[in-house]
């Protein structure tokens, strides 16, 4: 892709809302789980999902350091976001037999710290992708009509 095509793809994605980004990310995650099966290492799932989303023309940051401000304290690397799509959608990846309740709370805290409306928790260790994916919302009012909608 040359620089003009890349710039055009970036402009196109600026107009895409977070729900469309989430739908695309869920589809890519589903295809990954379907084709490679459950139990894939988190790092491998992350690398493949990053490549799939990037090939869709999206801007994706992988292991992006996130700065935290608390009172007068600034921590430059408070945490690392597994995947940040278009600066709008946080994707946290796991590879465990069953996600623990703390994993959803972790994503919600990250969303609050980043002031983002929507995140996805994708657990590639679950037997089915449906059992392993969870939407986490943070003051997000423009819900998609999705069977994956979960409030934490």
Report how many domains make up the chain. 1
pLDDT higher than threshold 80 for residue 68: yes
pLDDT at site 139: 82
Domain ranges, residue 23? 3-137
Is the residue at 142 inside a domain? no
pLDDT for residue 7 is more than 70: no
**Is the model's pTM score more than 0.85?**
no
Task: Please give the average per-residue pLDDT across 127-149, as a whole number.
Answer: 76
Question: Can you give the C-alpha Rg of the chain in angstroms?
Answer: 15
In DSSP notation, 94-149 reads E-SSS--HHHHHHHHHHHHHHT-SEEEEEETTSSSHHHHEEEEESS-------TT-
Query: Of 150 and 49, which is predicted with more confidence?
Result: 49
The enclosing H or E element of 64 equals strand 60-70
Residue 117 lies in a domain: yes
Model pLDDT, residue 87: 96
Q: For residue 44, give the 3-state DSSP assignment.
A: helix
Q: Is residue 148 part of a domain?
A: no
């Amino acid at each position: 892709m040359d620089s003009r095509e890349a710039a055009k793809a970036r402009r196109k994605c600026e107009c895409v809302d977070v729900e469309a980004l989430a739908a695309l990310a869920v589809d890519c995650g589903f295809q990954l789980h379907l084709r490679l099966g459950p139990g894939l290492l988190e790092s491998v799932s992350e690398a493949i999902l990053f490549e799939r989303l990037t090939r869709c023309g999206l801007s994706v940051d992988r292991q992006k350091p996130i700065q935290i401000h608390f009172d007068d304290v600034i921590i430059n690397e408070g945490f690392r976001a597994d995947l940040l799509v278009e600066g709008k959608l946080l994707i946290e990846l796991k590879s465990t037999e069953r996600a623990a309740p703390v994993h959803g709370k972790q994503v919600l805290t990250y969303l609050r710290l980043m002031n983002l409306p929507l995140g996805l928790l994708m657990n590639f260790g679950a037997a089915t992708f449906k059992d392993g994916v969870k939407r986490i919302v943070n003051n997000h009012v423009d819900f998609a009509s999705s069977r994956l909608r979960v409030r934490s």
